[in-house]
Structure 1
Amino acid sequence: MSTDFETDPHRDTGTEPDEFRDEQDRISPFWLERLRAYLAADRAEDVATVMAPLHAADVGDVLESLDADERLQLVQSLGDRFDYSALTEVDESVRIEITDALSNTEIARGVAGLDSDDAVTILEDLEQVDRDEVLAKLPTFERLSLKRSLDFPEESAGRRMQTDFIAIPPFWTVGQTIDYLRSNSDLPDEFYQIYVVDASYQVLGTLPLDKFIRAGRSTIIEALMNTNLVLVDANEDQEEAARDFERYDLVEVGVVDESKRLVGVLTIDDMVDVIHEEADEDIKLLAGVGDEDISDSTVDTVRSRVPWLVINLFTAVMVSLVIGLFNATIEQMVALAVLMPIVASMGGNAGTQTMTVTVRALSMRELDGSRVRRLVRREMVVGLVNGVLFALLIGLVTWLRFENLQLGIVIGLAMIINLIVAGTAGILIPLTLDKFKADPAIASAVFVTTVTDVVGFFAFLGIAGLWFGLF
C-alpha cells in the first residue's frame, strides 16, 4: 500500500509530542491520519514509534478517536508496549468493547503491571467468569489485593484505593526508616506520607515526607508522627471521600476496613477523577440521559433516553389535560392562546434555576436544618420579587399589544403566582426526593417542569375565566 507519508520524509517523522495536538489542543487530524495509514498497512513498528511519546491519557484520547476495529488493531499492534492504564482514561463503553475483544491472558498480562486502582477499574467491567480467570493468572499477592478491593461496593473508597503503601512501627527511628526505604524495591511508585501502625495494622499516626526528611536519623518516629488523623472507611462512597479531600485539603489519605485496619490509600489524582465523574454524572442526570457517553452506540443512546422521554410524554399529557379544561375560555379570547406559553415558560426557567442550586447544595452536603429554612424563605421571596417585576413588564407589553388593560393585569397576576410556585417547587421537590433516598438529580427536572406548567396554565386561564366571566 502506497501513501504520501512515504514520499515526504519530513512529514513521516512526526513523532514529537507537540505534533500530536493542534492549536486548539485537539488531536491533530494529520497525526491521526498518519496513524490510521500505518494501521491499515499493518506497520506495527511505525505505530509503536508514533505512539511511544504519548502519555496514557493521550493514548486514551486516541482510542476514542478511532473506529472500533481500529482500536483493537492499535492495541494488538502495540502488544507488550501497550499501556493498559490508557483503558482507565476512556469511556466505559470503549473500555468494555476493547476488553471484550481481548483474551483473558492478554488482559492478565496488561493489568499485572498496573497500580491496583487502575487494575480494579479494568477488572470490574469484566463478567465474573472472565474476572476470575484473569485473577487466577496473576501472582498470589497481587491477586489477593485485587480481590479484596473488588469485594468492596462499586463507587466506594475501597474500589478506588491503591493497596500499595508504606507502613512502619512507631518505635523505629528516622534512620531505620530511611534504610528500609532504600533497601526495599517493592515500594509504591509515588507516595506522600508514611503510615505509623501497630501490630494489627491499626493506624496510630501519619508522617508527611516534608517533616520526615528534615528530622535527624536518631529521632523516634512516634515523636514525629501526626496523631490528628483523617481516615476514610473503605465502604464509604467515593464522593464522600472526595469531599474529605476538599474539606481538609488532603493530598493522600489512608483507607481502613471495618476493623479500622489500614488496607490502602487514596491519592489526589484519584479524587480529581472522582470529582469529574460525579459532576459529569449529575449534569447528565439533570438532562435525563443517564450514564450516556459520546462513544455509546445508537442503540445504547436510544435505550438511555427513551425512559425519560416516556415520563416527559406522560407529564405533557397531564399539562394538555389542564389546558383542555379551559377550551371554552380560550375559544372566546384567542389572545389567551398566544400569551399562556409565556407564563409556563417563565415558571419553568425560574424553577430550573432554583432546582439547580438546590441539587448542587445537596450533592455538596451544604444543607442542614437552618440553611434549608433560610433557602426556602429566600427562594419564595425571590419568586415574589421576580414575579412582580416580570408581571409589570409582561402586563405593560400585553396592554400595549392587545389594547386591553385587564388582560395585562390577568397575566401579571398569573406570572406572580407561577414564579412563587416555581421557586418553592425548585427547592422542595429536590429536598423531598433526597429525603426519600431518591437521587434528586434524576427526577427533579421532570417534576419541577410539570408543576410550573400545570400551575402556570391553570393560574392564567383560571384567572382569565373568572375575571372576564368566560365560564
Structure 2
Amino acid sequence: MDEREDSRPLEDVALDERDRDAPPAEATGELDEDDRLKPEFVRDVIDLAESGEAEAARERVGRLHPADIADLFELARSDERPMLAGVLGDMLSAEVLAEMNDYVREELIDLLAPEQVAELASELDTDDAVAIIEDMEADEQQAVLRAMEPEDRAAIEDALSFPEETAGRLMQREFVAVPEHVTVGDVIDRLREDGDLTTDFWEIFVVDPLVRPVGTCQLSWILRTPRDIAISDVMRREQTLIPVDMDQEEVALRFQKYALISAAVVDKAGRLVGMITVDDIVHIIQEEAGEDILRLSGAGDGDINEPIRETYGARVRWLVANLGTALVASSIVGFFGGAIEQMVALAALMPIVAGVGGNAGTQTLAVTVRALAMNQLTDSNSWRAVFREMKIALLNGSTIAAIAGTATALWFGNPALGGVIAAAMIVNIFVAGVSGVAIPLLLDRLDQDPAVASSIFVTMTTDSMGFLAFLGLAVASGLTSL
C-alpha cells in the first residue's frame, strides 16, 4: 500500500462515513415509521420560532438531514415560512434548497438578496444550482448571475442556454476525466492532490486528445489495480453516451435500460461536457411518471404548494373542453328523446353503458400511455398492441354483456331489453378498447403528448358511442320508435 494512503482500519473509515451521512433524526424521534416528520415535531419547532425561542428551535432542527429540513418548510404554512427562515438562518443552506419543492423554494428565494442566492448556488453542483436559478424571473436571474464568480457564472449560463428538460440542463459539469496514456498510479495521485475535484463520483472518464470519451473506469477497478498498469488496460470501452440535447425522459429510460449509475454527456462534436448521475435520474423518473398521470386527468402540475390561480387556470380549461365533448354526447341523447319517453328504463340504463365503456377506455389508455412513455410501444409492435386490445375488449365486453343482459332481463322482465343492453355493452367496450390504444398512438405519431389530450377524446368516444349503440339498438329492435 502507498504510504500516502489512509492507514486506518477500513471499519473505522466506514464508521466515519456512516456518522457523517446518516440522518440523525432517525435516532432522535423526529421521524415516524414512514420517514416523515411527525406533526407534533413540526408544530413544536414553529411554536418555538414564533415565541422567540430561536436557539431552542435551531437546536431541534439542527439534528435533521437537509432533506428533512426541506420537508419542514414544505409542511409549514406559507405565512409561517418567512419567519421560520429568519429564525433558522444559515440552516437554510444550499443543500436544503436543492431538496425543496419548487414552489416553496421560489417563495424563500424571493426573500433573499441576489448575493445570498449567488453564494448558495456556488456551493452546489451545477445541476442543482441551475434548478434553483432557472425558475427565477429574468431580471432576478441576471442579478444573481452578476453576483457569482466568473467561473460559476459561465457554467450556469452555459447550462441555461440548453432547452428545459434536456440533458444539458440536467448534467453537472464537475467530473473527472483523464487521458488514456496515464497509469493507475497517476490517476490516484491526481485524485488525492487536486482539491477542485467534484466530491461525489464513482467512475472516471477516459478521453482522447480531443476530449472525446473513449472509455470509463470505476473507482473500485482503480483501487484494485497495481499502480504501474495503464488506465487504458483497465477501462471499459463500451459506454452509454448521452447527447447534450436529449430529452430528460429519454435519458431516464437509458439509465433504466442499461442499469447506469452515471453517464457521460457529449456535445454535437462528441466532446465530453458533463456527467449525469443516478440520483438526478430518480427525481426525473418520479417527476415524469407523476406528470403523465396528472396530464391524463388535466390536473395541471398537481402540486399542493402550487398557487391557487395557477391550479385554477390549468384545471378549468380542461373542464371547459370536457363540457364541449359532453355536449356531443348529450346531443345524441336528445336525438333519441322520443324513444326515451316511450320507455323510461332506457334513461336508467344508458349511463351504465357509457360509464362501463368509459372505465374500459381509461384502463386501455393508461396502459398505452405508460407503454409509450417507457418506449415499450414503437412502430414495430403498435399494430400488435392494437389487435391485443381488441381481443381483450371482446373478452371483457362479452363477460360484462352476459352479466348486464341477464340482470336487466330479470329486473325489468324484458328479455329483449336485456339483449339490447348486452349488445350495446359489447359494442361500446370494443370501441373503448380500440380508442384507448388508437388515440394516444395517433397523437404520438403527430408529435403531440398523448398524456395531455387522450383522455378527453377517449371519454367523448365512449360516451357518444355508448348512448348511440344502446339507444340505436333499442329503436332498431322495435322496443321503441323515434
Q: 1:321 aligns with which of 323, 326, 331?
A: 331
8 Å CA contact retained: 1:17, 1:54: no
The 1-side partners of 2:79 and 2:342 are apart by 63
CA shift digits 1:115-166 (9 cap, x unpaired): 2111110000111221122122222222111211111110111111111111
Find the partner of 1:284 among 285, 294, 298: 294
Give, as a single letter, the amino acid of the residue that structure 2 aligns with 1:390: I
Q: 1:372 offset after TM fit, Å? A: 1.1
Q: What SS does the aligned partner of 2:273 have? A: strand
Deviates more, 1:88-97 or 1:253-262: 88-97
Matches within 5 A, 1:328-343: 328-343=338-353
Tell me the SS of whatever aligns to 2:217: strand
Are the counterparts in 1 of residues 179 and 208 from structure 2 also a CA contact under 8 Å?
A: yes
State the distance in 2 between where 1:72 and 1:177 align: 47
1:27-426 matches, cutoff 5 A: 27-426=37-436
Secondary structure, aligned partner of 2:205: strand
The TM-score with structure 2 as length reference comes to: 0.92
Distance 2:87 2:275 in 1: 35
Counterpart residue number, 1:11: none
C-alpha contact 2:25 2:64 (8 A) present in aligned 1: no
CA–CA distance in structure 2, aligned partners of residues 336 and 136 of structure 1? 70
Give, in whole Å, the separation in 1 of the partners of 2:151 and 2:139: 20
Q: 1:390 to 1:256 in 2, by over 3 A?
A: same
User: How far, CA to CA, are the matches of 1:129 and 1:369 in structure 2?
Assistant: 45
Amino acid at match of 1:442: V
* Compared CA separation, residues 419 and 213, structure 1 to 2 (3 A): same
Secondary structure of the corresponding residue to residue 300 of structure 2: coil
Please name the residue that 2:481 is paired with: 470
Offset from partner CA, 1:265-302 (integer Å, 9 cap, x none)? 11110000100000111111111112131112332221
- Aligned residue among 443, 455, 467 for 1:445: 455
The 8 Å contact of residues 196 and 204 in structure 1, kept in 2 or not, is answered as yes
- Contact map agreement 2:249 2:288 (CA 8 A) in 1: yes
Separation (CA, whole Å) in 2 of partners of 1:169 and 1:77: 49
Q: 2:264–2:274: 8 Å Cα contact kept in structure 1? A: yes
Amino acid aligned to 2:124: L
CA distance in 2, matches of 1:289, 1:263: 37
Q: Which whole-Å deviations, capped at 9, do the CAs of 1:425-471 have from their partners, x for residues lacking one? A: 00000001111111111111111011000000001001101111513
> Percent of counterpart pairs with the same letter?
44
Secondary structure of 1:369's match? coil
Cα distance in 2 for partners of 1:15, 1:219 equals 45
DSSP-derived class of the 1:368 partner: coil
Distance 1:294 1:145 in 2: 32
Q: Which residue of 1 aligns with 2:11?
A: none
Task: Specify the alignment match of 2:36 in structure 1.
Answer: 26
* Aligned residue in 1 for 2:19: none
What letter corresponds to residue 148 of structure 1 in structure 2?
A: D
In structure 2, the CA distance between the partners of 1:456 and 1:226, relative to structure 1 (3 Å rule), is: same
Residue 24 of structure 1, CA deviation: 4.8
| TM-fit CA distance, 1:15 | 7.6
Partners of 2:221 and 2:194 in 1: how far apart?
Answer: 21
The question of whether the paired residues in 1 share the 8 Å contact of 2:177 and 2:207 is answered with: yes
User: Where in structure 1 are there 5+ consecutive unaligned residues?
Assistant: 1-13
Aligned partners of 1:450 and 1:186: how far apart in 2? Answer: 59
Letter of the 1:386 partner, please give it.
Answer: N
Q: Summarize the Cα distance change of 1:346–1:237 in structure 2 as closer, same or farther, 3 Å threshold.
A: same
> Residues 33 and 259 (structure 1 numbering): CA distance in 2 closer, same or farther, change over 3 Å?
same
- The worse-fitting range, judged by mean Cα deviation, of 131-140 and 400-409 is 131-140
Gaps of 5+ in 2: 1-23
CA distance in 2, matches of 1:90, 1:287: 25
Instruction: Indicate conservation of the 8 Å contact 2:46/2:84, yes or no.
Output: no
Give the superposition deviation at 1:234: 1.2
CA contact under 8 A between 2:402 and 2:422: conserved in structure 1?
yes
> Conserved in 2, the CA contact under 8 Å of 1:251 and 1:267?
yes
Give the TM-score, by structure 1 length: 0.94
How far residue 105 of structure 1 moved from its aligned partner, in angstroms, is: 1.5
After superposition, give the CA deviation of every residue in 1:181-217 in whole Å (9 maximum; x if it has no partner).
1111111111011111123321121111121111111
Output the CA distance in 2 between the equivalents of 1:372 and 1:101. 51
Q: SS of 1:452's equivalent?
A: helix
SS in 1 for 2:387: helix
**Equivalence map 1:431-442=2 (5 Å):** 431-442=441-452
Alpha-carbon contact 1:292-1:304 (below 8 Å) kept: no
